[in-house]
Amino acid sequence: MAEICTNDEGICLPWWFEREVVDVWNGLMTRPPLRFRTFQHKRNQFDSRRRVSQLIVNNAALLGGSRKTDPDVLHERFAFILHSALTYVRNSWDEDADALEVLGAKYPITMGFWQFTRPDLQNLVHLDGLNCGEEDALAQLEQDKARRQEKAKIIKAFQSQLDEFIQKCAYTVGSDNDSNKRLRQVFDIACDGLADAEEQLEWTEG
């Protein structure tokens, strides 16, 4: 279960923001040999917290979720990826470099957190993948997205078949005194088939 780190509006809480964003950025990116800019707030801390949470929700798909995913889960995933990605930058940094290059984009050593996370989080996901030994984490995300979309289509098609079956049964059995008995018998047969399918699924998992 994810740690509660957002308020009712989905905005990250102050303690989480300072621990997982500000301290992580300053601790990994501003100390030698790295010389990136210390974290700067957007007007005030609340605006910064709100913008970070918007960034997280807007990039939910890159974090392995969606806008419907629990915001605490998304924030927890972001915190992990941010720490992992910046750790990779720090451990692989060339002291003679004057910029960081990721996915064809160059980030000068004078950049700050907001420049590094604009316009999306693809660079962080890519760097996190490299830190975890994955050469193309973005491609794997796309494959996972395609898998989930296909799964949703399969479930939707099956649900449609079930709805059609129920409607057909309700219409076909008629409306005489024995109609409910016939309907129950047909549904019992269908439920037996579903039970067999569930047993097969459990066997497959085992």
Condensed to tens digits (0 to 9), the pLDDT of residues 80-104 reads 999 999 999 999 888 888 888 888 8
62: number of Cβ within 10 Å = 21
Q: What pLDDT does residue 145 have?
A: 63
Please give the average per-residue pLDDT across 161-176, as a whole number.
Answer: 86
- Residues 130-165 have pLDDT tens digits of 898 887 766 666 666 666 667 878 888 889 988 888
Residues paired with residue 42 on neighbouring β-strands, in sequence order: 44
- Checking if the pLDDT of 16 tops 60, the result is yes
pTM flag (> 0.85): no
Please give the average per-residue pLDDT across 195-206, as a whole number.
Answer: 78
d(CA 189, CA 159): 18
d(CA 80, CA 65): 14
Q: What pLDDT does residue 24 have?
A: 97
- Residues 41-63 have pLDDT tens digits of 988 999 999 999 999 999 998 89
Instruction: Place 14 in a pLDDT band, splitting at 50, 70 and 90.
Output: very high
More confident residue, 175 or 75: 75
Please give the average per-residue pLDDT across 165-173, as a whole number.
Answer: 86
